[in-house]
């Protein structure tokens, strides 16, 4: 019979495998004694990220986010005795001394997902990525690094930005279906566009230029990350591998001039991802 804590771990692993293949495959290359902590982190992120798509109105989403705020308080107060993700997360928090504010800030950031207000500016978008994608990589790096990650804060930030922005661009059809606008309003306005053009899935010249600006930001983040990769220990690299896989997605996004990212995301085959990760692991690179 499966032990309760083992069933919690299986639940987290399965959730990540189904919802976040990049992180799932990357985690399999981490040390086996660290994988459980990573799957707990990534399952938490999946759970929070999916709330907006699972509720019929913002108020319900707010209630679920508040439940997680309260649960994080319980985790850090040693009072958590429910929910498989929460139990696994509690174990990871204790084992790796993970900072509480990264979890609570991430939950707060996802309030934006519940509403149809557009992201106001590029600065706001980058701040959102800092408290979501960058934070998860920081936590994952601490699980793998086994100590404070301050000395690798720069590559963590670059990896989180690259991964988060790539995921954002490739999930535009889903966001539009939810009436969400993560594309900064000030960037759209420079081309006489607004969220209505986005929701109409009009990939005009102006919209194309906005996407090109964002892709150039990602390219620069990846360039700076790879410039710093020699400073990273082999053990911590799996925390950065999802950002490397984001590079594959980005190549596919920009390869076809006729592709409309507002209507259809691109997909990278699992075989191609596995081959890429195998090379990354073998040659200790991102």
Q: What is the pLDDT of residue 2?
A: 40
The answer to whether residues 22 and 245 touch, using CB atoms and an 8 Å cutoff, is yes
130-183 confidence digits (pLDDT tens)? 999 999 999 999 999 877 789 999 999 999 999 999 999 999 999 999 999 999
Max Cα-Cα span within the chain: 62
Cα separation of 170 and 114, whole Å? 19
Quote the CA–CA distance of 138 and 160 in Å, as a whole number: 8
Judged by DSSP in three states, 146 sits in: coil
Task: Give CA–CA dist 136/234, Å, rounded.
Answer: 19
CA distance 23 to 239: 8
CA neighbor of 46 nearest in space, from 18, 73, 66, 74: 18
Position 171 scores a pLDDT of 97
Classify domain 4-283 at the CATH class level.
mainly alpha
Query: What pLDDT was estimated at residue 78?
Result: 77
For the chain, helix, strand, coil in percent to 5 are 75, 0, 25
pLDDT of res. 109 = 98
What stretches of 171-259 show up as alpha helix (H) in DSSP?
Answer: 172-177, 185-189, 195-199, 205-227, 241-255
Pair 16, 46: CB distance under 8 Å = yes
For residue 158, what are the CA distances in angstroms to 33, 40, 101, 243, 261? 26, 23, 20, 9, 23
Give the model's pLDDT for residue 72: 96
Q: Give pLDDT tens digits for 9-26.
A: 999 999 999 999 999 999
Residues in the chain: 286
- Whole-number Å distance between alpha carbons of 261 and 11: 32
Which residues of the chain fall below pLDDT 70?
1-5
Q: What per-residue confidence (pLDDT) applies to 4?
A: 46
């Amino acid at each position: 019979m499966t032990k309760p804590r083992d069933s919690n771990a299986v639940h987290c692993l399965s959730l990540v495998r189904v919802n976040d293949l990049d992180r799932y495959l990357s985690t399999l290359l981490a040390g086996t004694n660290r994988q459980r902590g990573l799957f707990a982190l990534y399952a938490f992120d999946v759970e929070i990220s999916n709330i907006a798509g699972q509720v019929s109105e913002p108020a319900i989403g707010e209630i679920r986010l508040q439940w997680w705020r309260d649960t994080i308080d319980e985790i850090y107060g040693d009072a958590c005795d429910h929910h498989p993700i929460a139990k696994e997360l509690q174990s990871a928090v204790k084992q790796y001394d993970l900072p509480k504010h990264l979890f609570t800030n991430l939950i707060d950031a996802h309030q934006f997902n519940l509403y149809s207000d557009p992201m106001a500016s590029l600065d706001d978008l980058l701040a959102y990525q800092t408290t979501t994608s960058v934070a998860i990589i920081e936590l994952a790096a601490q699980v793998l690094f086994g100590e404070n990650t301050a000395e690798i804060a720069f590559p963590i930030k670059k990896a989180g930005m690259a991964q988060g922005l790539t995921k954002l661009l490739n999930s535009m059809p889903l966001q539009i279906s939810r009436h969400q606008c993560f594309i900064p309003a000030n960037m759209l306005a420079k081309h006489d566009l607004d969220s209505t053009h986005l929701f109409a899935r009009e990939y005009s010249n102006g919209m194309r230029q906005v996407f090109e600006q964002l892709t150039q930001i990602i390219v620069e983040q990846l360039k700076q990350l790879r410039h710093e990769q020699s400073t990273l220990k082999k053990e911590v690299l799996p925390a950065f591998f999802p950002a490397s896989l984001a590079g594959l997605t980005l190549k596919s996004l920009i390869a076809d001039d006729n592709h409309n990212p507002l209507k259809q995301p691109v997909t990278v085959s699992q075989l191609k991802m596995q081959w890429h990760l195998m090379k990354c692991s073998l040659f200790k690179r991102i």
